[in-house]
Amino acid sequence: MKPRLQTALLRSVLYVPGSNSKTLAKAPTLDADALILDLEDSVAPEAKAQARSNVLDTLHATRDAPAQIRVVRINGSHTELWQDDLITTLPGLPDAVLLSKVESPDELSGPNEYLHRLEQDQDFSCSLWAMIESPLGVLNALAIARHPRVSCLVMGTSDLSRTLGIPGDPQRIGLRHALQHTILAAKAAGIRILDGVFVNIRDPEGMIAECHDGARLGFDGKTVIHPCQIAAANQAFLPSDAEAAQARLVLEAWNAARARGEEICVVDGRLVERLHADQAAQRLARWEAARKK
């Protein structure tokens, strides 16, 4: 995996329809941590060819000073489209390719071989991200996450809700098990995982609530569909200033305990062991990385 991808913040990851030149032009100016330049469901069948060429132009235009992680979403390996999606857009050197509707690790073979061949010919490396958006994809999430080229899972909650036949419920009760199962798979494989989209762009409170729900569940960030949703995701998937200050206190107390030859201490009534100090250090590092952006 590219070092840039290993450490990158992925709080807000914006879908940008590849067929819409206006959104493609605007996306690099926005505060999203990553862009998913889409060739799949937001692009009509008759617009696929033009969308591939638009996406390549956007990748070229942002290549020298990429402010964001750049990902191309390609059509699923069960379609006739994915190879042309790759052939046309890979010369733009995206950081990752997001494969839609992945249900088993076998489906990764075609895109993986293609990327492998290209890497041998050129000085280039590209990660694979996988969309988990069906019951079978959820059940096979661990095998998919363990594929050596896969560095991130992306929940496709709209497709998953449709297949499960469940309503859009603010508590996401019907999705809970699937979300948690897929998060466990990603964490067990040591890769990143992003929450699905919140489809109502006129419901900022609902968006904020769902971002915090995703952060509490353990997602690294959220996929978003509109510029107005970016700030909510950036805020929710980052420790607050108060949490960063608390993390600093924990670290100081634990370092002082270590200097006395002790392995545990108590901060504000709470037990602090090495694991809590590690967690505090990670939290602080994420907070500092976001401040530097």
For ligand COA, the closer of residues 155 and 253 by Cβ is 155
174-233 binders of ligand COA (CB under 6 A):
197, 201, 225-227
Dist CA 263 CA 91 (whole Å) = 52
Classify the C-alpha dihedral 121-125-131-132 as positive or negative.
Answer: positive
For Mg ion, the closer of residues 33 and 40 by Cβ is 40
Which residue in the shown chain puts its C-beta closest to ligand COA?
A: 15
For Mg ion, the closer of residues 160 and 247 by Cβ is 160
- Helical (H) or strand (E) element with 222: strand 221-224
Minimum distance from CB of 172 to ligand COA (Å)?
16
Q: For ligand COA, which residue of 9, 11, 12, 15 counts as binding (CB under 6 A)?
A: 15
Amino acid (1-letter code) at residue 292 = K
Choose the contact partner of 159 out of ligand COA, Mg ion, none; CB within 5 to 8 A by kind: Mg ion
Residue at token pair 């040591």: 190
The yes or no reply on residue 42 touching ligand COA (CB under 6 A) is yes
In the complex, the residues that contact Mg ion under the rule CB under 5 A are 133, 156, 159
22-30, 105-113, 145-153, 263-271 -> range binding ligand COA (CB under 6 A): 22-30
The yes or no reply on residue 110 touching ligand COA (CB under 6 A) is no
21-29, 112-120, 180-188, 259-267 -> range binding ligand COA (CB under 6 A): 21-29
Q: For ligand COA, which residue of 5, 10, 17, 149 counts as binding (CB under 6 A)?
A: 17
Minimum distance from CB of 168 to ligand COA (Å)?
14
The yes or no reply on residue 272 touching ligand COA (CB under 6 A) is no
Q: How far is CA 3 from CA 11, 33, 68, 152, 291, in A?
A: 17, 16, 14, 14, 20
For ligand COA, the closer of residues 51 and 144 by Cβ is 51
Say if residues 254 and 272 touch (Cβ distance below 8 Å): yes
CA 52 from chain centre, in angstroms, equals 22
The yes or no reply on residue 26 touching ligand COA (CB under 6 A) is yes
For ligand COA, the closer of residues 22 and 260 by Cβ is 22
CA 50 from chain centre, in angstroms, equals 26
> Which stretches of the chain bind ligand COA, using CB under 6 A?
14-17, 22-23, 26-27, 38, 41-42, 197, 201, 225-227
